[in-house]
Structure 1
Amino acid sequence: MTTVVALVVAAGRGARMGGGGLPKQYRLLGGRPVLRHSLGTLAGHPSVDHVLTVIHPDDRPLYEEAAAGLNLADPVPGGAERQDSVRLGLEAAAGLGADVVLIHDGARPFVDAGVIDRVVAALIDHDGAIPALPVADTLKRGDASGRITETVPRDGLWRAQTPQGFRFEAIRQAHRAAEGKVLTDDAAVLEAAGGTVVLVPGAEANVKITTGEDLTRAERLFDRPLEPRTGTGFDVHAFAAGGDGVQLCGVLVPYSARLAGHSDADVAWHAITDAILGAIGAADIGRHFPPTDEKWKGADSAVFLAHAARLVEARGGRIAHVDVTVICERPKIGPFRSAMRARTAEVLGLSAERVNVKGTTTEKLGFTGRREGIAAQAAATVLLPALF
């Protein structure tokens, strides 16, 4: 399997923003820090295994606020120049077992899943790939007085974007060799080392926030209407001996057995989590919280559910409604539905009317009918900005 690490470069001070104050990656956009938008998209992408951010040492509190609730690797401090920061980030990414690295500017909040997909796919056959758009405007070269000295042919010219993707060892060695040089982007670093980089289609919305005017224009994108997305989830856990009950929607329901699982085996919350992740195209619960990772052994499934909700929020969306059906002969769900509904709404930050919990049986058919375990299926409706 290939391990993909997204390396987000966010150590700059944003001098061109003007006005002093916060670096641009921590300015608010759509009510959230600029950086949080790209962190949420990358953390929720099915191909991305780890998200690692390079930050300025003085910005740790700002970063913690921007990254709150997302399942990310610990950030690393950057260097004096962007190139230094990337090199330091690459050395840290080695500890995550990176085979492929996606290097992304923290000030590009609108990267979408399609761009990421195209970059990752291109790396099957190439050492490097970058998203780019063809130059459409006529280009002029001018002197210091503003006089045009040349019309530059635009044929074959492209506007480079991020994330720029690379096979890990190729770009790490290239950055080591380029230490002390000043190159414009990471593709240029690999090119200088003799590597080949290919172009894949970028996206017009994938803009970089550089000036205050850029931030104002980006804010207007959030005036667009939200569009609904629907996801579904399904999960199963077997009964195991021992225990005094089963955990369902964060409520301990008394029973003569427990549910077997790596975490607390809350089958209902696992189904809801998968439904929310499905609605935003963010793979499934196992991708974000692998059952092979001892970190999640016995974990409270509220962590998983809250993470899915924060991925929605980080992308500028909101959860409109969730519905879950718990399928079993025993224990009976009815007496606990109100408590399960209230607890689910609390974790998701919703009103209880936006959550529905119900129980059913399979009329004694199948493994649930034989009382061998419990199944749950869920649906979630999410509203996302149309730009994603």
Structure 2
Amino acid sequence: MSDITPPSPRNLETFAIVVAAGRGTRLARDAEQALPKQYLPLGGVAILRRTLDALLKSDLIDGVLPVIHPDDRMLYQSVVIGLEDEARLLHPVEGGATRQASVLAGLEALQPLAPGKVLIHDGARPFVTNAIIEDAVRMLDDGAKALVAAVPVTDTLKREDEAGNVGETVAREGLWAAQTPQSFDFPMILAAHRHAAKQGRVDFTDDAAIAEWAGYDVAISPGDTANFKITTKADLAAAEGRIRMEEIAALADIRVGNGYDVHAFEPGDTVILGGIGIPHDRKLKGHSDADVVLHALADAIFGALGDGDIGSHFPPSDPQWRGAASDIFLSFAADRVRARGGLISHLDATIVCEAPKIGPYREAMRIRIAEICRIAVDRVAVKATTSEKLGFTGRKEGIATLATATIRLPL
């Protein structure tokens, strides 16, 4: 990351300030979490990192300046390591006791660079789009001095009276819900912030309000309902759902593979099926632990990947696999999916045998398979049937399993 100096000799015009010095007290109360909300994981990635990344993806922004809490420097460094395009990510500055003070600290830090335009954005608003940024920069280029990204209010609004009842219904026509970024002519908003601080005005809740107080017209630039701020536990859950849907949408190559395995019985006292030991008067014969369920599932995954079969990855002629637990094979197959940037959508196994009884162990198998593959239990199905006393399974000579794997890969 660069210091507060131009990262290149070219003319730098547009900067973004990311306000991330708050403590996130509402979410902390909701979720009983210790971290400030901007550092909470969202789809495995810190919210603040997602916000910074979204801004850095815009080639209209010459530099991004985070404003952080003095106690969060190490935490901040841990979430931005390896962030793409670090050349435009400026070293963070410390914020103040209020959002207003934090923004002023960011503006003062940028002042030596003499920017023409500045976008001020919430650190806990990770879904800002390139279209929002483009519209804001275009309107500033066209002569606007102050802009607030906003969306029309669509809900019916009620004003509460002193008794706690509905006092009146507020007409929603002409009402907008403000978002960020709020975008400004840089010299104007810096002067307005300085004047507010000099006058002892520390009660402004956003930067557009300061521009209004300073006598400037504030225009509305297009926002997006998806560009919401994560404030409560419900917001965090909604954001997780959005990330999950985006991940799934990116995995548009849906593939299905089939697997089949069979092992004969031999003398013993336990059958290994689906990673679970089931007491029985015999065991299954095989080079490994002969778990026909896990073998068939692994082959189904390899089939969906177009990646050989279990024998090609784990040859039975190799002595290292003698007596090996078959969860090694299934875990390897699942890892091959993840290595391709994909995910396992569903696994389905049908066990064919006369004995032992599968029903009492079905849920334990599902749980174990899910653990091995690191997927949710509801993505695993285990069924059992007999062959009506026909064939080798009907004669109780062995057990067979048919399996299907559904996976999703990037196109």
Settle same-fold status: TM greater than 0.5.
yes
Task: Report what 1:178 is aligned to.
Answer: 196
1:20 Cα shift? 4.2
1:144 Cα shift? 4.8
1:204 pairs with 225, 240, 264, which one?
225
Contact persistence 1:50–1:96 (CA under 8 A): no
Deviation string, structure 1 residues 196-225 (Cα, Å, up to 9, x no partner): 111111111101000111101110012212
Task: Report what 2:250 is aligned to.
Answer: 227
| Bigger Rg, which one | 2
Contact persistence 1:2–1:100 (CA under 8 A): no
Deviation string, structure 1 residues 295-319 (Cα, Å, up to 9, x no partner): xxxxxxxxxxxxxxxxxxxxxxx99
Task: Report what 1:102 is aligned to.
Answer: 119
Amino acid of the structure 2 residue aligned with 1:74 = H
Q: Distance in 2 between matches of 1:383 and 1:130?
A: 37
Deviation string, structure 1 residues 27-77 (Cα, Å, up to 9, x no partner): 110111111111001112110000000000000111112222231100000
Distance 1:81 1:109, change over 3 A: same
2:85 maps to 1:62: no
Secondary structure in structure 2 of the residue aligned to 1:123? helix
Task: Report what 1:134 is aligned to.
Answer: 152
Amino acid of the structure 2 residue aligned with 1:9 = V
2:140 maps to 1:123: yes
Distance 1:94 1:383, change over 3 A: farther
Q: Distance in 2 between matches of 1:218 and 1:46?
A: 25
Ranges in structure 1 where 5+ consecutive residues have no aligned partner: 230-317, 321-381
Give the TM-score of the pair, scaled to structure 2: 0.55
Task: Report what 2:53 is aligned to.
Answer: 40
Q: Distance in 2 between matches of 1:20 and 1:228?
A: 32
Q: Distance in 2 between matches of 1:117 and 1:98?
A: 17
Deviation string, structure 1 residues 91-144 (Cα, Å, up to 9, x no partner): 001133321110000000100100010111110211011211001111110035
Amino acid of the structure 2 residue aligned with 1:97 = A
Give the TM-score of the pair, scaled to structure 1: 0.58
Contact persistence 2:99–2:205 (CA under 8 A): no
2:177 pairs with 149, 154, 159, which one?
159
2:93 maps to 1:76: yes
2:40 maps to 1:27: yes
1:14 pairs with 14, 24, 31, which one?
24
1:145 Cα shift? 3.9
Taking the TM superposition and a 5 Å limit, the aligned residue runs for 1:1-388 are 1=11, 3-17=13-27, 18=29, 19-70=32-83, 71=86, 72-124=89-141, 125-179=143-197, 180-181=200-201, 182-224=203-245, 225-227=248-250
1:228 Cα shift? 7.7
Secondary structure in structure 2 of the residue aligned to 1:46? coil
Q: Distance in 2 between matches of 1:126 and 1:2?
A: 19
Amino acid of the structure 2 residue aligned with 1:48 = I
Deviation string, structure 1 residues 142-170 (Cα, Å, up to 9, x no partner): 03542011111111110011111101000
Higher RCO (CA < 8 A, seq sep 6+): 1
1:383 Cα shift? 6.2
